[in-house]
Amino acid sequence: MHRCFALALCLTVFACDPLTTVQGRVVRAPTSEAVSGAEVNVRCEGLAPAEGLKATTDASGSFTMTTAGGALADTCTLHVSEGGGNPVRTTIGATKAKGDDPGNRVRQVEVALPAK
């Protein structure tokens, strides 16, 4: 029963678009120390704010987000903030890291927050 419902949901809501995963790490410049608890948001043209991707970094500064809405372009914007402060804004294209593979819909990024 559950499998049938999940398949129906996929067919009706997402039309089974491929998933895109954004994996990354938030570090402190210039030391590359991990920043835990940072808020990461992805905003793209055509993606309503309510549909935006959000994550919080773990103790190693890592985060993962997945969307069923198709590929995320290099022009999508990452907004990264710590403790409610002003966010650092950059694009996925400007923060690509080793292993970035847009063809397979896995975006690898690294964002550096300024020193405190």
Evaluate whether 12 touches 97 at the Cβ level (below 8 Å): no
Residue 29: per-residue pLDDT: 94
Residue 11: per-residue pLDDT: 31
Q: Sketch the domain layout of the chain as residue ranges.
A: 17-113
Residue 16: per-residue pLDDT: 42
CATH topology of domain 17-113: Protocatechuate 3,4-Dioxygenase, subunit A (2.60.130)
Residue 84: per-residue pLDDT: 84
Whether pTM exceeds 0.85: no
Residue ranges in the chain modelled with pLDDT below 50: 1-16
Q: What is the DSSP string of 1-56?
A: -HHHHHHHHIIIIITTPPPEEEEEEEEETTTTEE-TT-EEEEE-TTS-GGG-EEEE
Residue 67: per-residue pLDDT: 80
